[in-house]
A and B are shown apart, each in its own frame.
Chain A
Amino acid sequence: AQSVTQLDSQVPVFEEAPVELRCNYSSSVSVYLFWYVQYPNQGLQLLLKYLSGSTLVKGINGFEAEFNKSQTSFHLRKPSVHISDTAEYFCAVSKAAGNKLTFGGGTRVLVKP
């Protein structure tokens, strides 16, 4: 079975500052990794995904994440946040392409002016 841990439940950050959201996973098999964002009162939207290949993955809205197999991590970063990045961010894994997702507990990002 897989599990996902998002170490920070809330991250306050000032506008134009960088942000890093931490995600660690455990699995006995290789996994596929995802970051989703949920804006207030909306569904989930994919930010980026790692299936194979380069461990540095670039996504939408200036976000990127790096897959580190030895540390079983997939941390999400953005060099300069905007007010509009205020949302909840979920890390997720699946053990096969197209398979069900196992989500972390989410990290709520609040961008302050």
Chain B
Amino acid sequence: GAGVSQSPSNKVTEKGKDVELRCDPISGHTALYWYRQSLGQGLEFLIYFQGNSAPDKSGLPSDRFSAERTGGSVSTLTIQRTQQEDSAVYLCASRLGQLETQYFGPGTRLLVL
């Protein structure tokens, strides 16, 4: 597969549980982004990884949210003690060069009951 992949495609969890969402970027892409798409807030930036630089975490809504990118490739977004307002579609994107396009994955639809 040549595109960005995300897993799981759907996740239902109970309030208070932790969840991990995975993103596999396009091979060789140096930059990786997480966004969230929700009915109330629209599409919003969460976090951005670029090579070995410190990530831009300015969009993370609370300290319950964290993300890591291992080996400059796969990324995991972790939400601890999930709340109902965390229900959204979490989108991952990756990019090759500085002027290149961000390519988006299909998203993970998270529902917190």
Contact = CB atoms under 8 A, between A and B. Distances in A.
Interface residues of B, number: 26
Interface of B is mostly: strand
B113 interface: no
Interface stretch (B11-19, B63-71, B72-80, B101-109): B101-109
Interface string A78-112: 00000000000010100001111111111000000
Contact of A43 (B44, B50, B99, B106): B106
Given A46-B101, A90-B43, A103-B44, A98 B106 contact: no
Q: How big is chain A's contact interface, by range?
A: 20 to 34
A45 B104 contact: yes
A42 interface: yes
